[in-house]
Amino acid sequence: MRRDDRVQQEEPSASHSKTGTSIESQSHVGKAGKKCPVMVDGMLQNGPTLDIRAADGFLRDAMSIIMEEAVNKATDIKEKVCEWQAPEQLKELLDLDLREGGEAQSKILQRCRDAIHYSVKTGHPRFFNQLYGGMDPYSLVGRFITEAINPSIYTYEVAPVFVLTEEAVLKKMIEFIGWKEGGDGILSPGGSVSNMYAVNVARFHHCPDIKELGLSGMPRLVLFTSQECHYSISKAAAFLGIGTKNVYVIPSDGRGKMIPAELEKKIKQAKEEGAVPFMVNATAGTTVLGAFDPLEEIADICERHNIWMHVDACWGGAALVSRKHCHLLKGIHRANSVAWNPHKMLMAGLQCCAFMVRDKTGLLEKCHSAQASYLFQQDKFYNISYDIGDKSIQCSRKPDAFKFWLLWKAVGTRGLEERVNRALALARYLAEEIKKREGFRLLMEPEYTNVCFWYIPPSLRNMSEGPEFWKKLHAVAPVIKERMMKKGSMMVGYQTHENKANFFRQIIISPQVSREDMDFLLEEIHNLGKDL
């Protein structure tokens, strides 16, 4: 029985205020030393309404379901990756309508089971669809802890552990970038937001008055990025009032890398037009091809023209922890800012995204602070430099670094390095297998763990490779993807690129993935598409 149910059995003895609000003095004590119930605005106020013992039972039952269905089964290779349902069917199955009355706990527990059952199991060894995947137990426990404590990481007083763990994680990531003098940073809610931070900070660095005066008094500011960059760069330009037409797109070579000579031309062109270049965005690990821009050459150009250099290493930043593969990001230490997402290959769990600047003058705080007096009092009893919230554009902010800190503590830097090395080795194995197998063709040799390839069904293998061939091949990948989703055997993405026909993009991340899974991938694609 809830406490308020017990209270309702007693007769309230309330005094009425002039406003009509019924308030009973808590100094009145009833029989057996119990305080009489208090009525305020028609609501009984006599102790909490939540029975913690009942909540404990529900939480234990729910955690049992989570462990069995979302952890054990969802990572079992014998189970399905997904249980596909069309949107209208799924709406019916989930009974999504919200009603006046609540439901019994048994019903709520069943809803938990249903939510897991019909969700895509991103921790499954054969989930290859995105730039994240797998299930790390230490990161998962870290998420359980932060969800249970439910802190907001704006001040040390409300999130002491999580402020310090964020500081420790950022410090170590900055070491891997190679900023010997240190730097500053913050965890953001996604790589897209990190890139938006980069555009905003770079603009503020170039035009500090913009924070107070706005765009009206500013010159025409322009930024530069490659044609292979993440779409968040153009979104940031639109969101921040720069305008997408002021994003100069630099051609990439056949492997998807920015061409430095073309960047130099575009910068000169912008200056001749009377525009003011303020930022270059380089990409370390493009979304589709996994390409790494030539950072050293780009840095030379940025220094020559006094332009802020940002590196979007959201995907490729993990290579920094590998002594074998860190050369992919050679020159990143010369960047002014870096975005890096440990929730991708390092498996810190969504979301864990760091934005870092090679600056120790408080640039982040100068750019974003609003100095809210109810949070950032200057006369606190502790060192207020640990009140980090004014560096962020957010107020409430989740402690996303903690799960990565716990994971890093558990496996060590060597364990993270091994994950990266193993993933790249498996990508190399898959690429070699594709070359051997009839009906499979690589787009290009992979530089990272993005393995892009076509599957050519038997009906097209003897066809001349003219427009009709590519038209027919373009239709193959979508049908195979539909079949694998409805079967639930695996998930791998496909897309077009420039004028190329649809191809598969296989992403390798999780240490749960094995050589056998790579073989299964190719065999399953053939089995699903051999009749096309």
In angstroms, the Cα distances linking 517 to 417, 448, 512 are 21, 18, 9
Instruction: Give the per-residue SS3 of 358-407.
Output: CCCCCHHHHHHCCCCCCCCCCCCCCCHHHCCHHHCCCCCCCCCHHHHHHH
Q: What is the DSSP string of 73-134?
A: GGG-TTS-S-----HHHHHHHHT----SS---HHHHHHHHHHHHHTS--TTSTTEESSS---
Task: Name the percent of the chain lying above pLDDT 70.
Answer: 93
What was the pLDDT predicted at 216? 86
Q: Phi then psi for 275, rounded to 5 degrees?
A: -80, 165
The token pair at 459 is 């009906």
Using the predicted structure, report yes or no on whether residue 21 has a pLDDT greater than 60: no
- Say if 142-410 and 437-528 have the same CATH topology: no
Q: Residue with structure tokens 């600047």? A: 357
424-436: per-residue pLDDT in tens? Answer: 999 999 999 999 9
- Tell me if residue 474 falls in helix, strand or coil: helix
Collapsing DSSP states into helix, strand and coil, what is residue 428?
helix
What is the CATH topology of the domain spanning 142-410?
Aspartate Aminotransferase; domain 2 (3.40.640)
Each residue's pLDDT tens digit, 435-449: 999 999 999 999 999
pLDDT digits (tens, 9 = 90+) for 453-467: 999 999 999 999 999
Name the band, by pLDDT with cuts 50, 70 and 90, for residue 10: very low
Residues in a beta bridge with 312: 283, 339
Where exactly are the structural domains of the chain? 60-128, 142-410, 437-528
Is beta strand 43-44 parallel, antiparallel or unpaired with respect to 353-357? unpaired
- Which H/E stretch holds residue 438? none
**For position 302, what pLDDT does the model report?**
98
Q: What is the architecture of the domain spanning 437-528?
A: Alpha-Beta Complex (3.90)
pLDDT of 25 reads 44
Looking at residue 95, its pLDDT comes to 96
User: Is 152 in contact with 396 (CB distance < 8 Å)?
Assistant: yes
Q: Mean of the per-residue pLDDT values for the chain?
A: 92
pLDDT 10s digits, 67-98: 999 999 999 999 999 999 999 999 999 999 99
pLDDT-derived band at 374, boundaries 50, 70, 90: confident
The per-residue DSSP string of 292-317 comes to: B--HHHHHHHHHHHT-EEEEE-TTGG
pLDDT band at residue 2 using 50, 70 and 90 as cut-offs: very low
